[in-house]
Structure 1
Amino acid sequence: MTEHRVVFVVFDGFQPLDLTGPHEVFHGAGGYACEVVATRAGPVRSVSGLFVHAGHGVADLDPAGTDTLVVVGGEGVDRAREDAALVSWVAAAAAGARRVASVCSGVFLLAAAGLLDGRRVTTHWAREEQLAREHPEVRVDCDPIFLRDGRVWTSAGVTAGMDLALALVEDDRGRQVAHAVARQLVLFLRRPGGQSQFSVALWSRQPATDPVRAAVTAIHADPGARHDIASLAAHAGLSPRHLQRRFTAELGVPPAAYVERVRVEAARRALTEGDEPVEAIARRHGFATAETLRRTFHRRLGVPPSEYRARFRSTAEPAGALLVHPVHPVHPVHPVQPVPEEGEPV
């Protein structure tokens, strides 16, 4: 099997997980030769103080022959994109690479190298406005955790780099190999690119009291159930008016808005993970009709459910529970072989 040459670009102030996460995914899959390049060979300090050794500097590494170029992110990217030698090397390596990828704010270095004109990209949500403001030639979409536009792949922050790397492995070697790597790394296989950076756990506060917690638990247990204020008040053991006030104070949004967001997120997962008709998804998740779901998607996401499914449909099997019992020890991670997808112990 021919090895794919993966070159990671790092710089002072890089985010270490942007490098080590994808690196372990490629190593675990086997068939990848990974190298690290920086402005100069030698130790490179990450934003958290962890040093890694760059085996090459841009002056001594031929950019030709790179199969997959991965630019990591981190606070230091703002200085790195002003490094003319580094930016020129990235542009030269990308010119001949089969594909180019960035993790988190590494997208800024790709933009500085002129690689993103007219492309649709993502990055960490906290840098969305900056990227759109500084690079109007780029179409910025910071909802999904990773995106592919032709041969350019971009991802959101930190752990999303591992999701991106799994998608690259799947693209090269198939979903069985990607599945095996995820199992050995005890990962959730696999978040589709269309999964939002703004999942419920991220965008909402946590309930501070037991009555509101009971209402929230009921919503998540069955998003499609009847969740009007009277029903939620019954779960909470409060009057509807009292629950409305406490729910909004504790979570920052009123109950109806919270219910809608949970339902939208559940419908998004259903659209990307299976073949269920849109009408059935709408009914199952509390939207009553496909038209109601369509209007809600347009209002919240700017696209209809059918387009969302076409754009973000996962090629992997439906996501399941968090895998917590790897078949083999995870240290060290050895290259793995495909494993059966049906009936295997997890």
Structure 2
Amino acid sequence: MPKVPRFSPNDHRLVELLAFSEVQMLDVAGPLQVFASANEEARRAGVEPPYRLRVISRDGGAIASSAGLALATEPLSATSEEVDTLIVAGGPGVDRAAEDGGTVDWLRRRASRARRVASVCTGAFLLAASGVLDGRRAVTHWSYCEAFSRRFPAVRVEPDPIFLRDGPVWTSAGVTAGIDLALALVEEDLGRETALAVARYLVVFLKRPGGQAQFSAALSLQMRGDRFEALHRWMRSNLAADLSLSALAAEAGMSERSFSRRYLEETGLTPARAVERLRVEGAGQMLIETDDPVKRIARRCGFGSEETMRRSFLRQLSTTPQDYRSRFGAGPRI
């Protein structure tokens, strides 16, 4: 049985999860269960549970989650009270919560008392509204990264990580990424052995392979403008063709030099990197939807060889084609 405490066994660290009406249920329940399971591991080891858990909302009482299930919450705690970890959940109601001056002001003052602060999914919007994320790196759900970046230009958005840490502030990607984040917090507090025991009990990865790009076609090719929309459609339809700089410039009706410069300005990517992302995206779809051998998919998507495709998958998604297929495919593949 793991030796649970890294800190004093009598030090019950307070973990607060901030919720609101129309909160995403799993944003609250996922991290909460990780800490609760860490407490259970401590009890099995014969030591005092390390965490005190509290779900809070503006006025306390029952609040409706976006799934329709009610959550019992306590009122916002006194900002002068010590708190170890403050976690902000996300969900459809986050915009209304971020417009509530009382909640935002409480969050700003409460965060200053916490050893560490975190957000789950779109909870980053509420955390950013309080100013806590200003000047820091952060992540949120892949489908909201662009909107988040426009709304909070003082925050450096990194769209791919499952979660990331910038000093005492942690943020996580969409929904279930809150579990990954909470496991990392438990590992920091109690060690890898305890965090691994919790992950095994919950039947989840301790450290999930890859980033959230593997869940989103929009992330695997982050095109912000529409100037080259027709070119991108042509590229997707001709992945096995010659997609060299000269071929792309000719298709776009531009000189190579002008095309290369304009493309980088418009998309933030070099043409070569965009081609690689499109090919990885196409190959990923084939891995999920077909039983074709990896070697054949590599040729059909323009990689030339299975090894080239493997390197591109590792570079873009931090996973191999075989692992990608086993996780996302509909069934056993040959």
Shorter-chain TM range is: 0.5 to 0.7
Contact 2:287/2:294 (<8 A) preserved? no
Following the alignment from structure 1 to structure 2, what is the Cα–Cα distance between the partners of residues 104 and 28? 21
Aligned residues: 239
Instruction: Give yes or no for the alignment of 1:15 onto 2:24.
Output: yes
Deviation, structure 1 residue 256? 2.8
The structure 2 residue matched to 1:213, chosen from 290, 297, 304, is 290
Partner of 1:36: 55
Instruction: Give yes or no for the alignment of 1:196 onto 2:202.
Output: no
- Supply the AA of the counterpart residue of 2:303: A
Deviation, structure 1 residue 186? 1.1
CA RMSD of aligned residues (A): 3.0
- Supply the AA of the counterpart residue of 1:263: R
Instruction: Give yes or no for the alignment of 1:5 onto 2:14.
Output: yes
Following the alignment from structure 2 to structure 1, what is the Cα–Cα distance between the partners of residues 35 and 190? 11
Instruction: Give yes or no for the alignment of 1:263 onto 2:317.
Output: no
Contact 2:211/2:318 (<8 A) preserved? no
Following the alignment from structure 1 to structure 2, what is the Cα–Cα distance between the partners of residues 173 and 13? 32
Following the alignment from structure 1 to structure 2, what is the Cα–Cα distance between the partners of residues 199 and 184? 25
Q: Which has the higher contact order (CA 8 A, sep 6+)?
A: 1
> Structure 2 vs 1, CA of residues 265 and 114 (structure 1 numbering), >3 Å: closer, same or farther?
same
Partner of 2:243: none
> Structure 2 vs 1, CA of residues 33 and 208 (structure 1 numbering), >3 Å: closer, same or farther?
closer
1:246-285 map, 5 Å: 254-256=301-303, 263-266=311-314
Contact 1:13/1:75 (<8 A) preserved? yes
More deviation, 119-128/180-189: 180-189
Q: Deviations over 1:60-89 (max 9, x none)?
A: 544521110000000110000011111111
Partner of 2:265: none
* Structure 1 residue matching 2:17: 3-state secondary structure: strand
| Structure 2: unaligned runs, 5 residues or longer | 1-8, 40-49, 221-280, 328-334
Q: Deviations over 1:207-255 (max 9, x none)?
A: 499xx8243x425xxxxxx9763xxxxxxxxxxxxxx4xxxxxxxxx34
1:310-325 map, 5 Å: none
Following the alignment from structure 1 to structure 2, what is the Cα–Cα distance between the partners of residues 128 and 258? 33
> Structure 2 vs 1, CA of residues 228 and 97 (structure 1 numbering), >3 Å: closer, same or farther?
closer
1:118-137 map, 5 Å: 118-137=135-154
Contact 1:63/1:89 (<8 A) preserved? no
* Structure 2 residue matching 1:123: 3-state secondary structure: coil
Contact 1:199/1:265 (<8 A) preserved? no
TM-score (norm 1): 0.63
The structure 2 residue matched to 1:164, chosen from 164, 181, 192, is 181
Instruction: Give yes or no for the alignment of 1:68 onto 2:115.
Output: no
- Supply the AA of the counterpart residue of 2:53: C
Partner of 1:54: 73
Following the alignment from structure 1 to structure 2, what is the Cα–Cα distance between the partners of residues 16 and 258? 44
Contact 1:69/1:101 (<8 A) preserved? yes
Contact 1:11/1:39 (<8 A) preserved? yes
Q: Deviations over 1:97-122 (max 9, x none)?
A: 00000000001111111101110000
Following the alignment from structure 1 to structure 2, what is the Cα–Cα distance between the partners of residues 93 and 135? 21
- Supply the AA of the counterpart residue of 1:213: T
> Structure 2 vs 1, CA of residues 132 and 29 (structure 1 numbering), >3 Å: closer, same or farther?
same
Paired-residue identity, %: 44
